[in-house]
């Protein structure tokens, strides 16, 4: 499964990068291959200053070695050897009418003293973070997520939509990072759902990414916007930074396992603002977004 | 001591705010009084869009109640009641030739079941974060720190300068946040150094703040700068955000004790940039700064 999934994400990275370059029409992703001194490495692909994408990355990595002590305690393992691989992407569009998107699909293995696998699981998901709310975009994104989930299990969409709302919650602000999507973790083989079935599920979700996101980008990328709307986007991007640096377990895992800093922090937006005690005007579009973020709703 | 120190920081806030408004010449600090539901509150004073200061805050707070479980474990206390008060300030000047400055002076009390003090200590310090390096500014700042320390103990400056370099270290970047200054914590009364002596030391440091910072601002605030230099400042501000959200214990303490978010996060800069894998040109002024940040040096 290590090889099967790594091959999958390698090919998915190509597909997604090609799809996004076609949408952008101007900028190309730049590639960096990196090695991790303790084992493994990755292929980082970053786009900057595009016609559509101000900054973004579509990265794959496969790392192995010894878990840091804190994570050994967390996983309660007797042997600290691990393998983890995944694809992570974040896209920050320039136009505040186009939402930011994040996705990650990953696979993890733990071993016993003889090197036999004692635990293996998939995790991942994708979520949408708009700056201005277009209900039909939210519905479209969630509908694609639901359709992919429904092909594998009737409960998956409801379960993983809920987990996504719970996970991407900025506790210190009491608000969601965005409109959610899917979040799943510790997807382990059981007598009812085999590892191969999990692979089929996760790769189906990965394959549906462009269909979930690109039509929204196409629809909003040429909408005109004002300086005030751009400022609002940069202020909201500040909340994105807060989530990623304070709460995000993926970022933390990368920092603790001596991952490549520039690949981990490519998720941070290019231009960001923090104002003291900013709050939008009553009944504005900005306030409408905040109301939805305060209490996640069902989109499909 | 609770009252004595709270009165001191209340008066110091007035003094510092007046001094900074005089330097800025245009903007005034805006005041917010806030209450913490669990006990205590604070007086936040924020300046924005000044002639000199793009954003900054000089805040005092005094909070009491029950320590969160994680901090009870950390302090190994049988009774979770606590009191903490302090003054925190961060100033982000507009001109990249003027350094950002941070300072914090605080006092902490823990109690037994009868409400008697079982532990009490001071902490604090101040540190300078320039975007362009003027050696004479670093020397001036450290010299004022040293002179104030030397009046109380011949070892304090060396000890607390070292602690500052250690504390404000962005481990994930392997670089210092800035040029350091002083950092001290758990300053508890002993047979050799009484609580009153600690108070005298900490208040002397607090009193020296304007002298340490204002002459540097006066010297640099009207120096002309380019768009490229401003971009560099905003990129370096990104490192400031990373330190505060990933590593800073003060920020974490505030978030864990349900402090007032806008007062805690007033430390975040107004405009910030993150570029992928940015590195300055060889032998540039920007590279000169990075070399110093990679290995803290003695300034006095």
Domains in chain A: ranges and CATH: 2-292 (3.40.1500.10)
* Model pLDDT, residue B87: 97
Tell which B residues from 79 to 118 touch A, by Cβ distance under 8 Å: none
Structure tokens at B177: 């946040």
Nearest CA among B172, B217, B262, B20 for reference residue A245: B172
Distance set, CA B297 to CA A10, B129, B288 (Å): 45, 14, 13
Instruction: Give the percent of chain B with pLDDT over 90.
Output: 87
* Model pLDDT, residue A265: 94
Structure tokens at A224: 């005109």
Report whether pLDDT(B211) > 90: yes
Comparing A74-83, A215-224, B143-152, B198-207, the range with the smallest average pLDDT is: A74-83
In sequence order, the β-bridge partners of residue A175 are A170
Q: How much is the CA Rg of chain B, to the nearest whole Å?
A: 19
* Model pLDDT, residue A253: 79
Structure tokens at B29: 């600090």
Calculate mean pLDDT across residues B269-273.
98
Catalytic entry in A102, A142, A153, A204: A102
User: Mean pLDDT for each 10-residue chunk of chain A (300 residues)?
Assistant: 96 98 98 91 96 97 86 80 95 98 96 90 97 98 98 98 96 95 96 96 98 98 97 98 92 80 93 96 96 96
* Model pLDDT, residue B68: 79
Decide: residue A66, CB within 10 A, 0-12 exposed, 13-18 middle, 19+ buried. middle
Nearest CA among A244, A65, A258, A34 for reference residue B171: A258
Nearest CA among B254, B149, B261 for reference residue B206: B149
Report whether pLDDT(B268) > 90: yes
Q: What is the pTM of this model?
A: 0.94
* Model pLDDT, residue A5: 98
Instruction: Give the percent of chain B with pLDDT over 70.
Output: 100
* Model pLDDT, residue A19: 98
Q: For residue B140, how far is the Cα from the chain centroid?
A: 17
ipTM over 0.90: yes
A19 CB within 8 Å of a chain B CB: no
* Model pLDDT, residue B48: 97
Tell which A residues from 252 to 281 touch B, by Cβ distance under 8 Å: 255, 261-262, 265-266, 268-277
Structure tokens at B106: 């605080």
Active site residues of B: 102
């Amino acid at each position: 499964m290590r090889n099967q999934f790594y091959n999958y994400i390698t090919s998915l990275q190509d597909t997604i990068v090609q799809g996004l370059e076609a949408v952008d029409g101007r900028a190309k992703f730049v590639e960096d291959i990196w090695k991790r001194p303790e084992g493994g490495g990755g292929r980082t692909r970053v786009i900057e200053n595009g016609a559509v994408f101000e900054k973004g990355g579509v990265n794959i990595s496969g790392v192995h070695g010894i878990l840091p002590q804190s994570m050994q305690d967390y996983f309660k393992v007797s042997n600290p050897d691990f393998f983890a691989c995944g694809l992570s992407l974040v896209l920050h569009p320039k136009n505040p009418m186009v939402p930011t998107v994040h996705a990650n699909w990953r696979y993890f293995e733990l071993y016993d003293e003889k090197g036999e696998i004692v635990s293996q699981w998939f995790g991942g998901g994708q979520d949408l973070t708009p700056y201005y709310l277009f209900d039909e975009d939210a519905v479209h994104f969630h509908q694609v997520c639901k359709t992919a989930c429904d092909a594998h299990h009737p409960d998956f969409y409801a379960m993983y939509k809920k987990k996504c709302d719970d996970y991407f919650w900025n506790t210190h602000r009491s608000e969601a990072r965005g409109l959610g999507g899917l979040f799943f973790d510790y997807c382990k083989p059981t007598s009812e759902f085999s590892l191969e079935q999990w692979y089929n599920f996760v790769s189906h979700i990965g394959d549906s990414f462009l269909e979930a996101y690109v039509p929204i980008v196409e629809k909003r990328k040429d909408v005109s916007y004002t300086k005030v709307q751009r400022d609002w986007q940069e202020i909201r991007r500040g909340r994105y930074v807060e989530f990623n640096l304070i709460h995000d377990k993926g970022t933390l895992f990368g920092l603790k396992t001596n991952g490549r800093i520039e690949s981990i922090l490519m998720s941070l937006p290019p231009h960001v603002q923090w104002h003291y005690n900013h709050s939008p005007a009553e009944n504005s579009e900005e306030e409408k977004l905040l109301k939805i973020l305060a209490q996640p709703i069902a989109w499909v």
